[in-house]
Structure 1
Amino acid sequence: MAVNWTNSLSLPVLTSISPVVALTLILAIAFALMLTDRLRPDLVAIGVALSLGLTGIIEPNEVFIGFSSSAVVTIIGIFILAQGLQRTGVTRAFGRVLAQANRGGERGMIALVMSSGACLSLFMNNIAAAAVLLPGAVDAVKRRKLIPSKIMMPMAFATSLGGMATLLTTANIVVSEALTVSGQRGYGLLDFVLVGVPVTLAGILFMLTLGRRLLPTRDPTALDPARANSHVLTESYELFQRLNRIRIPPTSSLVNQRIVDSGIGKQYGMSVMAVLRNGQTVLAPSPDEIIRAHDTLLVIGRRERAEQLRQYGAIVEPDSQFEGEITSDDVSLVEVIPAPRSRAIGQTLRQLRFREKFGASVLALWHGGRSVRTDLATLPLEFGDAMLVHGSREAISLLQSDSDFLVLRPPAAEESPVRADRAVVAVVILIAALTTAALDIVPIALATMLGALAMVLVGCLSMDEAYRAIDWRAVFLIAGMLPVSIAMQRTGAADELGRVITALLSGFGPVAVGAGLLTLTMLLTQVMSGQVTAVVLAPIAISTAQAIGSDPRAMAMFVALGCSLTFITPSAHPVNTFVMGAGGYQASDYPRVGVPLTLICVILIIALVTFVWRP
């Protein structure tokens, strides 16, 4: 189709450039920005959509067409449905099963976490499924004296495996949308079952046998920060190796100052864990706590930093031992990690105003594979980090209710309230939504949004909670990239790339073409998100199928399933990075387990798609 390059919105500098060349430049710049993390992927995606409109590759009214696409609407509905299950305590039941599991050894635990992860990922986002399971898995691993590195990676991989068996995986929805845009029939809810379920079962079987042997075996107290009680937590973080006893005589200039004004934290990078006063222990003191004469401050930080307090007349005691308890009925010590899609990633505790917001202190930070106990406020948080947080039960409860953080094992009384009386209703709504979509009574987008509306109307969650449940970054990423499918078809880029693939592989038959697309998809997914890979490769798969007289839906299936093969690198999927800290993993651990698992999945996918879909 000819493109009108005299459109008034076109950039004059690009009016003489071929549409294919312009599209290639836009995508090359976008991929470079994504791969180098120069800009956030969602911001890059919006830039792509705007660039396509400004260059005239797509019409102005198509720039934001992604926001009204059935793919984006479906994804929004899934986020809200999943949150309804969480707020009513349904998903917590999966975590409780793991936490209460006391039978079976390592193999039994792997089977349990993988089956639970695969089941949850059938109807909710992969990283949300992992977030539901992680606290219970950490608890069960500790109580059963198992090695976390043998459990956490299988749990992460299971969520990706389970996503192959359902349309409700983001990449699968995107590929289905590409089929619809090209005039083909999109996928139904159950179209992935006959291929996805056998692949999932094979993946679980692999992890229970050879994969389990390939997983690293590391000392959990050395690499895994996920601990259950205060004694083990303090040992794991080597907290008392940085404990200093600071005695405050009446002549000290620190007397009658608030802790926040003393400079102990802001100037010297240390944390006040407790104040010993008149035979009593004030645990997790407030920043507004007044330092009094004869107090003894228990301060966490480097010794040389503590020595600098002598200039204020403080006495640094040579004996830094503390035999008392640092928790009580009112004060808890818990471990906290950044939640999936956390806005805290890349920000420091000071920038987050963590102390002021939650009223709790971070005593240590598990960062880069080691415990950091000084200058915590200036370290940007990363996925895989874990924080040792000390505070009142009210503070911990407030922290647990925040969507940016995940308390790995909160005290029983601190669990955030759920609407348990709506649990059955939430399950019924989910089943009704999925059933109507599976039977093609209503389109999948309409079914999920009706279910989301029902969740709010019956009180499973509030409208504000529904808004907070939506990962708007994912929405903007997908909505911004979806116009790429239109651009690739309109400029003929998809047809051209399809002809290249056809020329290379068509001589070996349509199965070889599908295998090539599957391999290409898998490789691209290791370095960029599956959603972006799906947007780019789905139109190519469809054009290739049409060029060789094959079924476009069968060829697109290779791309959809390839986007779930995220096992080789930590960056292939956020869920891989999410469990790195809890499992004590290194980047090299992933290919050792992921490469053979991927090969098994690739072989099975090729065989099953060939048998079921007959490309």
Structure 2
Amino acid sequence: MLDPLITTLVILVIATILFLSDKLSADLIGMFVAVALGLTGVLSPQETLAGFSRSAVITIIAIFFLAEGLRRTGVTDQVGRWLVRFAGAKEGRLVLLVMLAGAFLSLFMNNIAAAAVLLPAVSVAARRSQVKPSRLLMPLAFSTILGGMATLLTTTNIIASSLLRDENLSGFGLLDFAPLGLPIVLAGLTYMIFIGKRLLPAGLPLPETPEETDLVGVYRLGERLLQAKITASSPLVGLTLSQSRLRESYGLSVVAVEHSGQMILSPSPKLRFASGDVLTLEGRVDQVPWEQLQNSLQVMPPRVWGERDLESSQVAVVEAVLSPRSRLIGQTLKEVNFREKYGMVVLAVWRSGRPIRRDLANLKLEFGDALLLQGPRDRLPVLATEPDVILLNGEDESYKPTRQGSLAVAIMLAALTASIVFPEAIAEILLAGGLSMVAFRLLSMEEAYRAIEWKSVFLVAGMLSMGLAISKTGAGELAAKNMIALMGTGNPVLLLAGLFLVTMLLAQVMHSGAVAAVMVPIAIQVARSLSLEPHSFVMGVTLATSMTFLTPLGHPVNVLVMGPGGYRFRDYFKVGFPLVLLLFLVVMLFLPVIWPFT
């Protein structure tokens, strides 16, 4: 049998390579790690599977329950509506309010859930205030990450607390992150308002009037639109839209039909063509074999297109993004029967800073995609409740606080208060709060189960096994000795800075939960080797795992806003790099004071 230390290091190296390659999902890698440690004898069977019963996993599940209860009762939506109501028309004020709302919600719920809740309201506020979405959505994403640093209720913070307990040390309490986290939030907000705002991409130029601000222009759909009239001798006369096979044979989608003097937008596949009908077509105009259609269609002179041309009192053009746990991810529009299921037509997809407008039926959807949709206005309220998509600019509806909403807030506050008073029972208290949401019928158990991000649960359960193996085999102690020898110093500030920078760089390309599971045991051993306070080093490393501002890959919330914000990879580095430097200085300045090394 191989030495357990060598076995652990080999498994860790293989897991790191897999994380960096992005060939397998992070949760699958985490589970493989746990199984490998068990099969090789590094961990006992009980230790291998113990991650699923750890308080960290229970706490994460409980947070999903509580957050879903607040969402289902409209509490989180109300925060977004307040944002729209008080935003005003000034960009600076709007950025401040967006970031305050994002940071506030992320104190109590998963970062990406907080961003998903606010995304529609921020989009509406941007549209009404004539502020480009690119000026607001990155601040929204960054604010949720910043807010998560000020609370225990963040995945990496929960993992760190659990690993401290594994070393017979006291875990972090609910408010332990606040003394250092709140200055970080304040520094981040100040930077984004006065400096970061100037570095944000300008996006598309704003038109002179609100009426001209339309999604057709943003998606450059006008480049692919034209009108054509059905001639009297056309073979299309008498055929239905589905029978015409214009999309299948010529790559032309019919988005509107002027029929008998009436404009029909988003026409039904059963609509029957007649002589004189004027079709609004979308496609690669320059690649259509018009010579084959000269007896069927008479192309009309080109014109300037806008959103108003594709809308009416019954039909709307809206934008939506895929939700974080959308079942549409990885599937094509054809495979999910998108039009039949949602009653909307996809006109274009925005991905990685550019619109995609061809062969949409066979395009595999990715997380972060924004969809330009056209369909009946009466479908918008239904679409807004769909868990697979987030509607960005649907119709605003008045909201009145309900008794259920007040009860949900009361349960949340009671759970948080009890967690502060009894920090050793945080997992049990929060789970009791989540179950209370179900008991009082604020959500069903089925809804609660669907709200859980199971990928995070399995990743944490698997990687906690690696954290245990690093401590059990002495791998953490070995890494700590080598790091101290490499840096050639016993200065705790310099050692903390080294750990912080290594952790932060790993978090840009690996799941932050996996990074925490590896780096926290090493931080504990570094502190113990120098007879210093482990909590200080663990706090620094844990905060470093959340410094995911340099790339869109650092955190899913960055990917969520990438499509609707029209961001490119370099935009994150341009705005995020100075922010990371500032927050690094804040941590190095305040941490030794708030969490002394001795």
Compute the TM-score of the two structures, normalised by the length of structure 2: 0.92
| Distance verdict in 2 for CA 1:176–1:71, change over 3 Å | same
Q: Is this contact kept in 2: 1:139–1:228, CA < 8 A?
A: no
Match in the other structure for 1:107 = 92
Aligned residues: 594
Match of residue 188 from structure 1: 173
- Check whether the contact 2:231–2:298 (CA below 8 A) recurs between aligned residues: no
> How far off its partner does 1:346 sit?
3.6
TM-score (normalizing by structure 1): 0.90
The alignment status of 1:404 with 2:388, answered yes or no, reads yes
1:445 corresponds to which residue?
A: 427
Taking structure 1 as reference, are residues 47 and 316 closer, same or farther at Cα in structure 2, changes over 3 Å only?
A: farther
C-alpha deviation, 1:343, in angstroms: 3.7
**1:151 partner amino acid:** L
Is contact 2:152-2:173 (8 Å) kept?
yes
In 2: Cα distance, 1:380 partner to 1:200 partner: 37
Query: Does residue 501 of structure 2 align to residue 519 of structure 1?
Result: yes
**Deviations 1:377-421, CA, capped at 9 Å, x for gaps:** 2223334432110112343333322222111011136x9x99933
Provide, for residues 286-332 of structure 1, a one-character-per-residue CA deviation record: whole Å limited to 9, x for no partner. 33444455544322112245546945952142335589843233322
Aligned 1:59-458 pairs, distance under 5 A: 59-103=44-88, 105-220=90-205, 232-249=214-231, 252-292=234-274, 294-304=276-286, 306-307=288-289, 310=292, 314-319=296-301, 321=303, 325-412=309-396, 420-440=402-422, 443-458=425-440
Q: Which amino acid aligns with 1:127?
A: I
SS of the counterpart of 1:64? helix
Aligned letter for 2:379?
Answer: A
Which residues in structure 2 correspond to 1:435-514 (within 5 Å)?
A: 435-440=417-422, 443-505=425-487, 507-514=489-496
Letter of the 2:544 partner, please give it: G
The Cα offsets for residues 206-232 of structure 1, whole Å up to 9 and x where unpaired, read as 22222223333333559xxxx997961
What's the secondary structure of 2:569's corresponding residue?
coil
Q: Could you report, residue by residue, the CA deviation over 1:416-467 in whole angstroms, capped at 9, with x for unpaired residues?
A: x999331111110110111111111661111211111111121222222211
Instruction: Write the deviation string for residues 249-273 of structure 1: whole angstroms up to 9, x where unpaired.
Output: 5655545544344433345443221
1:601 aligns with 583
Identity within the alignment, % = 43
On the 8 A contact 1:46/1:480 being kept in 2, the answer is yes
- Cα distance, 1:150–1:109 mapped onto 2, change above 3 Å: same
CA distance in 1, matches of 2:328, 2:400: 24
| Alpha carbons 1:174, 1:535 under 8 Å: kept | yes
Other-structure match for 1:8: none
Letter in 2 for 1:72: V
2: distance between equivalents of 1:130 and 1:566? 15
Partner in structure 2 of residue 9 of structure 1: none
- Which of 551, 559, 564 matches 1:577? 559
Contact kept in structure 2, 1:307 and 1:316, CA below 8 Å: no
Matched residue of 1:614: which SS?
A: coil
Gaps in structure 2 of 5+ consecutive residues: none
User: What do the CA deviations read for 1:332-379 (whole angstroms, capped 9, x no partner)?
Assistant: 211111222434334332233212221210112223433333212222
1:546-585 aligned at under 5 Å gives the runs: 546-585=528-567
For 2:31 and 2:541, the matched residues in 1 are separated by 23
CA displacement 1:473-529 (0-9 Å, x = unmatched): 111221221111111122221121122123334733223222221121111111112
Q: Which residue does the alignment assign to 1:7?
A: none
Paired letter, 2:182: V
Taking the aligned partners of 1:256 and 1:28, their CA distance within structure 2 comes to 66
196-205 vs 292-301, which deviates more?
A: 292-301
The whole-number CA distance in structure 2 between the counterparts of 1:385 and 1:228 is: 25
Whether the 8 Å contact between 2:470 and 2:521 is mirrored in structure 1 is yes
Indicate if the aligned counterparts of 1:270 and 1:373 stay in contact, CA closer than 8 A: no
Alpha carbons of structure 1 residues 343 and 294: separation in structure 2 relative to 1, 3 Å: same
Contact 2:321 2:370 in 1 (8 A): yes
Letter in 2 for 1:375: D
Counterpart CA distance in 2 for 1:220 and 1:296 is: 32
Instruction: Go from structure 1 to structure 2 and tell me whether the alpha carbon gap of 1:359 and 1:141 turns closer, same or farther (over 3 Å shift).
Output: closer
Structure 1 position 161, deviation (Å) = 1.1
Decide whether the 8 Å contact of 2:174 with 2:423 is kept in 1.
no
CA offset at residue 538 of structure 1? 1.0
